[in-house]
């Protein structure tokens, strides 16, 4: 089971994923993987963290103040900081968790060849995956699972719907 959440910027993709993670945990499922929350200062986005869902380990991996590394728009990207958290988090989730969650499969994250390879290897696993997928990557990944567009009309009910589907998936395995 692979579910990819996509949609326009600010549609709520990451919020849907995080609410889904929290609901899955209340169902007793072990969730691992990585998220990339925004860093906001004075109401303005200035960068992104990379955070291990399971351990909480967090690093800044993109910032308007970084003068090194590859750039995407106004952000400099620290690939080594990203890899330090993201690769370890995904490896832990593969080995120890019921479900892998990733936010996001996108341009900034794909500056990391290690991450790109890790994501490609996840497509071959039978372990359930819920991932936020940048809309530019939909055609590349849609063959591996279901793509759901997050919209203002479905974003409130999606986390519960996703959790029900995942719980149902696990109950069929028993």
pLDDT for position 171: 84
* Under 8 Å between Cβ of 75 and 83: no
* Under 8 Å between Cβ of 67 and 44: no
Domain ranges of the chain: 2-169
pTM: 0.94
CA angle centred on 134, ends 45 and 22, rounded to 5°: 75
| Distance, CA of 103 to CA of 37 (rounded, Å) | 8
| Distance, CA of 50 to CA of 157 (rounded, Å) | 26
| Distance, CA of 4 to CA of 106 (rounded, Å) | 12
pLDDT for position 71: 96
| Distance, CA of 170 to CA of 174 (rounded, Å) | 7
Point out the residues of the chain with pLDDT beneath 50.
none
- The model's pLDDT over 90-110, given as tens digits with 9 standing for 90+, comes to 999 999 999 999 999 999 999
CATH superfamily of 2-169: P-loop containing nucleotide triphosphate hydrolases (3.40.50.300)
């Amino acid at each position: 089971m692979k579910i990819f959440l996509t949609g326009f910027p600010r549609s709520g993709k990451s919020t849907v994923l995080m609410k889904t993670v929290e609901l899955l945990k209340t169902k007793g499922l072990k969730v691992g993987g990585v998220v990339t929350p925004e860093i906001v200062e004075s109401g303005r986005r200035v960068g992104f963290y990379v955070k291990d869902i399971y351990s909480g380990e967090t690093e800044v991996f993109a910032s308007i103040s970084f003068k090194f590394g590859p750039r995407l728009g106004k952000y400099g990207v620290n690939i080594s900081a990203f890899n330090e958290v993201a690769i370890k988090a995904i490896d832990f989730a593969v080995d120890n968790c019921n479900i892998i969650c990733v936010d996001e499969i996108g341009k900034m994250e794909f500056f990391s060849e290690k991450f790109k390879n890790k994501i490609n290897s996840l497509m071959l696993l039978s372990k359930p995956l819920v991932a936020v997928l940048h809309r530019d990557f939909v055609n590349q990944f849609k063959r591996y699972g279901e793509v759901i567009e997050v919209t203002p009309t479905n974003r409130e009910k999606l986390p519960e719907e996703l959790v029900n589907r995942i719980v149902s998936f696990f109950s069929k395995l028993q």
